[in-house]
Amino acid sequence: MASAYILVVDDEPDIRELVQEILQDEGYEVEIAEHGEAARESCRLRRPELVLLDIWMPDIDGISLLKEWKDSIENDATGDFPVIMMSGHGSVETAVEATRLGAYDFLEKPLSLAKLLLTVEHALEAHKLDEENQGMRQQLSIADEPVGKSEINQNLSKEIKLMAQHDSRVLFVGEPGSGKSKYSRLLHRLSKRSEQPYIDLGVATLDVDNSANELFGSEVDGKIYYGLLEQAGRGTLYIDDIGEMEQATQRRLLSSLETGYFHRLGGTESIALMCRIVTASHYNLEQLVKQGQFDSELYFQLNVFQVKIPPLREHCEDVPELLNYYRDRFVQQEQFNYRSFSIAALNKLRNYVWPGNLIELKNLVQRLLIVSDLETITLEEVEACIEYEAQKQGAEDADSNNTLLADNALKSLFEHPLKEARELFEKAYLEEKLIAVGGSVGKVAQLAGVERTHLYRKMKTLGIDAKKIAKKSK
């Protein structure tokens, strides 16, 4: 943690300069501010990883500034950083109020060198652990490292280890569910940035109108929203579904990669781009470039190193180990009953083509653990699950075909660019589903096999009003 960026705010020059010198000797990067407005400006220029904040200052007291920061963080749900309060005139009531408002700790002046360093270290460690726990909760369903001893997996791991030694940008390509994000996390863990944040962004989950704000942040009425580029700090920002990024955001990202700086929306200050950008796509980006849907210069900026992730059917010898991995994961984390795979079941699954790759395998394991309490998973159960998946896919395909036939606007679907055609199809598909279930978004989420939060975002992006559809369907 010794490379963290710390802001020291104190109106007494001797104290702030002494604290700066002490922390710099410990290897921290330290900025100082003499009052509240200078602290605001410093945060505007660069998001700190920790703040040491004096309570009594001439323009605004530290408690009010702390409350201002915490209110802003609560409203924006981003940009959090630990704050340690300092005061030579403190009281128990002041300390209690500071911690109630979200301060990590309270230090009395004159400062104890040992306590200062220990508190700073603990605050940074606690914040890092909290971020890691949030990341674990978000990524609970995905393996942290490649599982399997196949030659393909071993060669991929070696390739990633070599790339991790450098800071060049990497583009992962492969079918949906093939494990691109898994290898991205491995790249981060093996790199010199491993102690820094790792942020996973799926472009498909972003509101089209809000994507630039999420990525670059914004400044509105003096309030700062730290975008993902800043939240990633000196770590790694993994951007999945890069082929779905809308073109205005593509141009902003290209400018940032070319110059090494970016601007928050509504801001005028240039912010240094410090994180490593790693991207992934299941689309053929070269084809999207030819169709004018993806910026050619951005493609070349991102495609310094390209890693192709093979589909599961090309390393099916890893299937038994993957099945056991996910089975054990569900048993440990969700307290499912332990079940073993019969030889016949394993053989069937090893020779299955896995059109949905790792995601399909994980879902199948979960289903098999739920459908029965019997000790052994039989061939019949596996065949039933595979048949269920095939029927579900077939029904979805039939629905989409019916939707295409029913909607005159989709007769010329192939005349549109890929992204526009996909949006037309998705809109018709979701509207048809909503009509069928009387406008229930929850039921559509189940039928479509997507999370409800993602479905709400998608509907907002496509301009679908579930309430109006519900009224029409009555």
Q: Quick one: DSSP state of residue 404?
A: H
29 has which bridge partners?
5
Residue located via tokens 């920002």: 237
Q: How many whole angstroms separate alpha carbon 75 and alpha carbon 160?
A: 38
Predicted confidence band at 145 (pLDDT cuts at 50, 70, 90)? low
Work out the percent of the chain whose per-residue pLDDT is above 70. 87
Residue linked to tokens 């190193």: 305
Residue 50 has a pLDDT of 94
Contact indicator for 246, 287 with CB cutoff of 8 Å: no
Name the fold adopted by 312-390.
Helicase, Ruva Protein; domain 3 (1.10.8)
Residue 473: the pLDDT is: 54
Look at residue 150 and tell me whether its pLDDT is greater than 90: yes
Mean pLDDT across the chain, nearest whole number?
Answer: 84
Q: What is the pLDDT of residue 20?
A: 93
pLDDT of residue 81: 87
Domain extent listing, the chain: 5-138, 164-308, 312-390, 407-473
pLDDT band at 95 (very low <50, low <70, confident <90, very high): confident
Question: For the segment 330-379, what is each residue's pLDDT rounded down to a tens digit?
Answer: 998 888 899 999 999 999 999 999 999 999 999 999 999 988 889 999 99
Q: How many CB atoms lie within 10 A of CB 236?
A: 24
Phi/psi for 170 (5° steps) reads: -125, 135
Beta bridge partners of 157: none
**Letter for the amino acid at 425?**
F
**Nearest C-alpha neighbor of 226 from the set 269, 259, 195:** 269
What would the pLDDT profile of 173-229 be if each residue is shown by its tens digit? 999 999 999 999 999 999 999 888 899 998 988 877 788 888 999 988 778 888 999
Count Cβ atoms below 10 Å from residue 361 Cβ, excluding itself.
21
Peptide bond into 110 cis (omega under 30): yes
Look up residue 265 and give its DSSP letter. B
Strands 218-220 and 223-225, bridge-based pairing? antiparallel
Nearest to 346 by CA among 328, 363, 361: 361
CA distance 179 to 226: 29
Strand, helix or coil for residue 236: strand
Alpha-helical segments (H) within 139-220 = 151-164, 180-190, 211-216
| CB of 187 closer than 8 Å to CB of 368 | no
Q: Report the predicted TM-score, pTM, of the whole model to 2 decimal places.
A: 0.66
**Would you say domain 407-473 falls under CATH 3.30.420.40?**
no
Nearest to 353 by CA among 399, 393, 325: 393
Per-residue pLDDT, 78:
41
pLDDT in tens, 75-91: 443 457 899 999 887 66
Residues contacting residue 217 through CB under 8 Å, at least 6 positions apart: 224, 225, 226, 227, 229, 230, 264, 265, 267, 271
Residue 306 in this model has a pLDDT that exceeds 80: yes
**pLDDT for the residue 431:** 85
The predicted structure's pLDDT at residue 450: 76
Residue located via tokens 């809308």 = 246
Instruction: Give the distance from CA 261 to its chain's centroid.
Output: 21
Structure-token pair, residue 337 = 């009953």
> Which of 110, 87, 91, 90 lies closest to 18 in space, CA to CA?
110
Q: Give yes or no on whether 5-138 and 164-308 have one common fold.
A: yes
User: How many Å apart are CA 254 and CA 251, to the nearest integer?
Assistant: 5
Select the more confidently predicted residue: 196 or 401: 196
Fold for 164-308, please state it. Answer: Rossmann fold (3.40.50)
Token pair of 359 as six digits: 């995601």
- Name the CATH architecture for the domain at 5-138: 3-Layer(aba) Sandwich (3.40)
**Please, are residues 400 and 425 in contact by the beta-carbon 8 Å criterion?**
yes
Length of the chain: 474
Decide if pLDDT at 393 tops 70: no
Q: How far apart are CA 353 and CA 138, in angstroms?
A: 28
pLDDT value, residue 426: 82
